[in-house]
Amino acid sequence: MSRTLQGVALVLALTLASAVSQAKCIDPVYALDGQKLSEPPRGADLIWPGASAEQLRFMQRVFDAHIAWAKSGGKRYQPDIPPAQLVEIEPECRLLDVAARAATRLLVQARADLAAARTKGDAQAHQVEDLGMLSAYRATTHQVLLWQNYFKSDFYPRTAAARTKLAGGPHGRQAEQLILRQAIIPSLAPPGYSNHNRALAIDFRTREAGREITSNFDAANLQAWRKSWLLAWLKAHAREYGFKPYTVEPWHWEYAGTVRSR
């Protein structure tokens, strides 16, 4: 690349960095209003305002089954990490020091490569308006809130028809395993057992062709991710910075550590 093009690319990269610097991760560390958690959390801690007693008990049993599944796979509970041990990468986006430094280098290079692609006239690169982090470290309290909300708004209604056909009904033991295996395990780690809780995982986000591409399983969002400039770049380069993909979630990448080759 010529000196002129290098200069233009640098200016564009700095512009992109400035644009995303105001974006914030969606992982505030806070206590849940009116809800007390055990250490580690258990099903009995969960609440479901407006639900029947049967629905609440079902949710609580499924939560405990999810924890048991994680333990049976050798996963260990991660208590909340003290803020002093976390490094902020972008506003409200924090990871452990070694992962944070790797993520910072990754984002700098991704934005520089995007700027360079624009200077070369890459049509898709010109459609990318923004890229950055959506989620990083999550305290267990936040993960519990996510679990509860996803259960009520997605997992429970999505599996309703299938659960009603099972022996024992929609809240029986077979229903418990169905919702766990078909909806929850592929989508969300139990609170305290996620690499987000270990401050080693990132959910990325981007805005391309006027569309916000974030972290949800909506078919249109998944399709947009698969076609995105950012995902193509991550597949090509994230391993150079120690990050590996979680294939079920194209936005989710975990720090595993490596020697940078670029």
Nearest to 96 by CA among 4, 20, 197: 197
The torsion angles phi and psi of 244, rounded to 5 degrees, stand at -120, 155
Domain that holds residue 98: 1-33+86-138+195-262
3 pLDDT band, cuts 50/70/90, is very low
Average model confidence (pLDDT) across the chain: 88
- Domain C-terminal end among 193, 211, 231: 193
Range with the lowest mean pLDDT among 32-36, 142-146, 205-209?
32-36
Burial of 100-137, coded b for 16+ CB within 10 Å and e otherwise, reads bebbbebbebbbbbbbbbbbeeeeebeebeebbbbbbb
Overall number of domains in the chain: 2
Does residue 2 register a pLDDT over 50?
no
Residue 260 above 50 pLDDT?
Answer: no
Helix (H) or strand (E) holding 98: helix 97-119
**pLDDT band for position 71 (50/70/90)?**
very high
Clarify whether residues 251 and 150 are in a common domain. Answer: no
More confident residue, 72 or 37: 72
| Residue 31 scores a pLDDT above 60 | no
In angstroms, the CA 76 to CA 193 distance is 6
Q: Please check whether residues 6 and 132 belong to one and the same domain.
A: yes
Mean pLDDT in residue range 177-206: 95
Residues 200 and 257 grouped into a single domain: yes
Same domain, 113 and 163: no
Residues 21 and 92 in one domain: yes
Q: Which residues pair with 244 in a beta bridge?
A: 254
Tell me whether residue 81 is in a domain: no
Instruction: For residue 25, give the CATH number of its domain.
Output: 3.30.1380
Task: Provide the percentage of residues in the chain whose pLDDT is more than 90.
Answer: 76
200 with 130, same domain: the answer is yes
**Mean per-residue pLDDT for 38-50?**
94
Whether residue 89 has pLDDT greater than 90: yes
